[in-house]
Amino acid sequence: MKIISEQKRSLVYFNEKEDTFIKIFKPKFLNRLKYFFRFRKYPGDNFFFISKELKKLEINTVEIISHSHYKIVTKNIHGTPLHIYLEKNRDNNEIIKKYIFLVTKLLKNDIYSGDLSFDNFFVKNDEIIVIDLEDYRKVKFFKRDKKEAIRRLYGKINNEIIKKIEDNLKNLS
């Protein structure tokens, strides 16, 4: 097993034999209490819950092999991370359009993520696949939460793309 990503609160391994990715969550104590008292979903359960919500919206997401409160095992996508894909295909407007459509669809359907940066999306067969779902939330939120999701994109992705997402959402409301 190879370590792919080591964050303060999570660890991702690649299991070569099974061709799977294993993500282990290490939340702080206060959050563990919140999960225990059901104020919040456990990260593994939330990942699973959000993946079902995305499927309902016909949004492609990673295939989950198994999940528990603090662990999620997913199938290797065998795709390309969106940021790398875009570096190689600089003017691929089709994929950028798909990304804009996807993020608009998420926000329109009250699905919120604090990290919609390109490295949390993969490209395979010209389609976008969403990964890293544990911190997504589905809430009937106020307008300002949508604004917050968009605000967090600034500095991470091109301003023109963000403007288009904002325009799409304006046209909807």
CB closer to Mg ion, 85 vs 132: 132
CB closer to Mg ion, 80 vs 168: 80
Q: Which position has the token pair 């065998």?
A: 78
CB under 8 Å to 84, separation ≥6 — which residues?
none
Sole window of 53-61, 75-83, 86-94, 138-146 interacting with ligand ADP (rule: CB under 6 A)? 75-83
| Both structure tokens of 133 | 């779902």
Q: Report the residue closest to Mg ion, judged by CB.
A: 132
Q: Which position has the token pair 């459509």?
A: 101
Taking CB within 5 to 8 Å according to partner kind, which of Mg ion, ligand ADP, none is near residue 150?
none
| Both structure tokens of 114 | 């604090």
50, 62 contact by CB (below 8 A):
no
CB closer to Mg ion, 76 vs 168: 76
User: Could you say whether residue 134 binds Mg ion (CB under 5 A)?
Assistant: no
What does 41-79 look like in DSSP terms, one character per residue?
A: --HHHHHHHHHHHHHHTT--BPPEEEEETTEEEEE----
What letter does residue 151 receive in the DSSP assignment? Answer: H
Interface with ligand ADP (CB under 6 A), residue from 50, 82, 123, 131? 131
| Both structure tokens of 19 | 């061709």
Taking CB within 5 to 8 Å according to partner kind, which of Mg ion, ligand ADP, none is near residue 12?
ligand ADP
User: Could you say whether residue 132 binds ligand ADP (CB under 6 A)?
Assistant: yes
Q: Which residues bind ligand ADP (CB under 6 A)?
A: 4-5, 7, 10, 12, 21, 23, 62, 74-77, 81, 119-120, 131-132
Q: Which residues bind Mg ion (CB under 5 A)?
A: 120, 132
